[in-house]
Amino acid sequence: MKLTGFLILCSAVLCVASSAAFAQTSSLGAQKRQADEKNPPKPEPREAVRVKANKVYQKYAWGAVKPPEPKTFKVNDLITIVVRQRSKYEAESGLGAKKEWDIKSELDAFLKGTAGGVGAAAFRRGKPNVDFRFANELKGDADIEREDKLTTRITVKIIDVKPNGNLVLEGRGQLVFDDEMSRITITGLCRKEDVTADNTVLSTQIADLAIEVDNDGALRASTTRGWIPRILDIIKPF
């Protein structure tokens, strides 16, 4: 009997201990879930984590190369734009239209006033008639091909620096050769990281790029249409 009572007592103690352990484990799991909900895991960066440089090594080691300081820009600084623009345009169109009108009419009788009222008039020279026929056919074909190239270098000025570091550029240039004069105006927006070490930036790296070229001289005058062709193009009589 004593042995049986002892075994029963041990079983009760083990049940109480296991219940306490289960309750403790459950409470720890709930605390962990609550902590995970408050602080969700951060996604791993896709880029490699930058390792901080060893200042002692950079200062005293013979083979150490100090990284260059980031270049800063301010308003009225000058930057050279390498312009390499090429555009090609091709278009082909066709037009065909055909109109035909055929009108034929004949008058059999007409009103005639008489002493007693209104009567029918007789046509002594034949009945009046209209016979009209019109045919019109229009056909047109057009083929346009144009290719423009512009390669030059122009130094522009920074007129504004945006809060994110982007640079607003604007510049003008003028070239006079004999009787020919060319004026070029360029504006745009670029990132400061795109400016190379020699203080240049490609025109293909400029956003909102606007290039305006104005030529004046004998060559321009020889290729300019007169006012009569312009009027004819507006009214298009043919």
HEC string of 106-175 equals ECCCEEEEECCEEEEECCCCCCCEEEEEEEEEEEEEEEEEEEEEEEEEEEEEEEEECCCCCEEEEEEEEE
- The SS3 of residue 58 is helix
Please say whether the beta carbons of 211 and 152 come within 8 A: no
Amino acid found at 161: V
The residues pairing with 215 across neighbouring beta strands, listed in sequence order, are 182
Q: Are residues 111 and 225 in the same domain?
A: no
Where a domain ends, among 143, 158, 184? 143
Domain coverage including residue 191: 78-88+148-235
Mean pLDDT of 141-160: 86
Model pLDDT, residue 29: 64
pLDDT of residue 37: 72
Q: Above 80 in pLDDT, residue 27?
A: no
Same domain, 169 and 214: yes
**In this structure, is residue 58 part of a structural domain?**
no
Residue 56 lies in a domain: no
Q: Is residue 214 part of a domain?
A: yes
Inside any domain, residue 52: no
Q: Please, are residues 188 and 209 in contact by the beta-carbon 8 Å criterion?
A: yes
Domain shared by 166 and 82, yes or no = yes
Is residue 25 over pLDDT 80?
A: no
User: Token pair of 233, please?
Assistant: 């193009």
What are the two backbone dihedrals, phi and then psi, of residue 135, each rounded to the nearest 5 degrees? -135, 130
What is the model's pTM? 0.50
| Phi and psi angles of residue 109, each rounded to the nearest 5 degrees, phi first | -150, 160
Mean pLDDT of 205-226: 82
pLDDT > 50? residue 13: no
- The letter for the amino acid at 108 is D
Average pLDDT, the chain: 76
Identify the domain boundary among 143, 161, 177: 143
Could you tell me which residue, 117 or 166, shows the higher pLDDT?
166
The pLDDT of residue 9 is 54
Q: Where residue 20 falls among pLDDT bands split at 50, 70, 90?
A: very low
Say if 69 falls within a structural domain.
no
pLDDT of residue 86: 80
Closest-CA residue to 67 (of 78, 84, 54, 80): 54
Q: Please tell me the predicted confidence (pLDDT) of residue 22.
A: 44
Tell me the range of 22-26, 62-66, 199-203, 227-231 where mean pLDDT is highest: 199-203
Same domain? 83 vs 191: yes
Q: Is residue 122 in some structural domain?
A: yes
Kindly state whether residues 127 and 167 are assigned to the same domain. no
Clarify whether residues 116 and 160 are in a common domain.
no
Instruction: Kindly indicate the confidence band of residue 23, based on its pLDDT and cuts at 50, 70 and 90.
Output: very low
pLDDT of residue 190: 93
6 pLDDT higher than 60: no
User: Do 197 and 94 sit in the same domain of this protein?
Assistant: no
| pLDDT band (50, 70, 90) for residue 189 | very high
Q: Is residue 84 located within the same domain as residue 187?
A: yes
- Whether residues 174 and 83 share a domain: the answer is yes
Residue 169, both tokens:
């550029």
Strands 207-216 and 180-190: what pairing?
A: antiparallel
Considering the domain architecture, whether residues 82 and 199 belong to the same structural domain is answered as yes
The answer to the question of residue 174 being in a domain is yes
Averaged over 29-51, what is the pLDDT? 64
Read off the pLDDT of each residue in 72-90 and give the average, rounded to a whole number.
Answer: 87
Structural domains in the chain (count): 3
Statement to judge: residues 179 and 84 lie in one domain: yes
191 plus 222 within the same structural domain: yes
57 or 139, which is more confident: 139
pLDDT tens across 42-74, in order?
666 555 556 566 677 667 677 777 767 778 889
- Helix, strand, coil share of the chain (percent; to 5): 25, 45, 30
